[in-house]
Amino acid sequence: MSNETTKPKEIDKLVRTSVIFTMAGMLLVLLFLLAGFQAWSVGLGVFLGMPVMLAGVGLYIFAVIRDLRFRKVLEDD
Amino acid sequence: MISFGVLIAAAGVYFVDAKPESEILTLEEIHDFDMEMIESRSTIYGAVIPMYFQAGGNISQAPQAEKGFTVGELMRWAGIISITIAVIILLMIEFFYKKQISRLNYRTLMMVGMFALPVVVVLSTGSTVLETTKTVESCASCHVMDPFVNDLFNPESTTLAARHYKNRWISEYQCYTCHTTYGAHGTFEGKRDGFRHWLLYVTQTWEEPIAFAGSYPNQNCTACHGGTQKFMEVESHQALSQKMRADEVSCTSCHGPAHPTPGEREDVPDRELFRMAQTVTEISAEELTNLVERFYE
């Protein structure tokens, strides 16, 4: 519990940013899946939505690694 | 979540069951023409009428060889449902119940919302893109392709593409079958060109008249025609076989053009003009009978 309270706010911010990115990306992809193959829907959904979603996932992985380092889980004994 | 899934599944089953009954018309329902006449008319119009029947009255639709709930459609729905669930989960645990739920539940739900469901979304979107780009409708969705798609539906057209389409030498995915580079099994260059074409289209920076930039291997033609008796009987095919294999001589050199030439593109009539309703009203039953008789003579 003490780890939770002392966890830097930066990690929380990173997690929240990654969640926002992932949700935004997925909603853009949803546009494509609902609207079907159109020039605008492919642009928004596939060429913009997918990278944004993957960036969100990548950011979350980065946040988790930062958190694990902060908790010294990744360090050798 | 389970109830939502069951509801979607029930709706899907109803949709699959209900659609064919309401949309498929029997010959008796469509017309009081007898079969002989329909067959004759089909011959005259180069299979335009069966396409009309298959498209449920809309001649501008490409004929579909298969009906029903496909794997592609299943993947699309998997993506839609996954996104809906993931967004709800992430919204709830990150913005509303972060403090209320246990750390274990939070992390488990984050794993689901940030990893498991996005994987489904990536697979679903990828398969949907590759599946939908195969349809003629997807090519027709960009106006720059209008002359080429319109030409397919033109009964008067003698281009290779139009003849393949109206005679149903290719039953479905007519654009994709000849331009095989952009599908799931196509080349990386095909995907790169697809992105480039999209970019040129949305930024309106393409140059008129558009031209096919890549090379067109004869193998795209010989995959169907090569080895058939008709193909082998043609002396020039045998004489040029080596050059054809090496793509030194193109099939379209003798059998082209594949599509309307730049000078012809402006004159290609809109595909909407070829709606069957217009054709049916133009010819009376009496005229048709005379036409059929003359055809048989």
d(CA B80, CA B90): 15
Give the per-residue pLDDT at A77: 63
How large is the average pLDDT for residues B100-111?
Answer: 92
Higher pLDDT, B39 or A31: A31
* Residue from the list A37, A42, A53 with its beta carbon closest to the beta carbon of B118: A53
Q: pLDDT band at A28, cuts 50/70/90?
A: very high
Kindly state whether residue A77 falls inside one of the protein's structural domains.
Answer: no
Q: Which of A40-54, B8-22, B248-262 has the highest mean pLDDT?
A: A40-54
Higher pLDDT, B53 or B100: B100
Mind listing the pLDDT tens digit for each residue in B222-269?
Answer: 888 888 888 888 889 889 888 888 888 888 888 878 888 888 888 887
Higher pLDDT, B197 or B124: B124
Query: Measured between CB atoms, does A24 come within 8 Å of chain B?
Result: no
Residue whose structure tokens are 């639709």: B61
Three-class HEC string of B103-141: HHHHHHHHHHHHHHHHHHHHHHHHHHHHHHCCCHHHHHC
How large is the average pLDDT for residues B141-166?
Answer: 86
Give the per-residue pLDDT at B80: 96
Kindly state whether residue A76 falls inside one of the protein's structural domains.
Answer: no
Q: pLDDT band at B53, cuts 50/70/90?
A: very low
Q: Quick one: tokens of B86? A: 């993931």
Residue of A nearest to B197 (CA): A39
Distance from CA of B110 to the nearest CA of A (A): 9
How large is the average pLDDT for residues B41-64?
Answer: 45
Number of domains in chain A: 1
Residue of B nearest to A50 (CA): B122
Give the mutation candidate from A14, A15, A19, A33 for the B interface (greatest B CB count, under 10 A). Answer: A33
Distance from CA of B37 to the nearest CA of A (A): 38
Kindly state whether residue A75 falls inside one of the protein's structural domains.
Answer: no
Kindly state whether residue A42 falls inside one of the protein's structural domains.
Answer: yes
| Residue spans per domain, chain B | 2-207+266-282
Give the per-residue pLDDT at B44: 39
Q: pLDDT band at B105, cuts 50/70/90?
A: very high
Contact A25, A54 (CB under 8 A): yes
Contact B90, B112 (CB under 8 A): no
Q: pLDDT band at B280, cuts 50/70/90?
A: low
- Which of A45-54, B44-53, B97-106, B165-174 is least confident? B44-53
Kindly state whether residue A16 falls inside one of the protein's structural domains.
Answer: yes
* Residue from the list A26, A34, A47 with its beta carbon closest to the beta carbon of B121: A26
Task: Indicate the average pLDDT of chain B.
Answer: 77
Give the per-residue pLDDT at B47: 42
Does residue A21 surpass a pLDDT of 60?
yes
Does residue B138 surpass a pLDDT of 90?
no
Distance from CA of B183 to the nearest CA of A (A): 14
Can you give the residue range of the structural domain that contains A59?
2-70
Among B165, B180, B262, which Cα is nearest to B216's?
B180
Give the per-residue pLDDT at B95: 92
CB pair distance less than 8 Å for A37 and B201: no
Kindly state whether residue A51 falls inside one of the protein's structural domains.
Answer: yes
Reply yes or no: is the peptide bond before residue B260 cis, omega within 30 of 0.
Answer: no
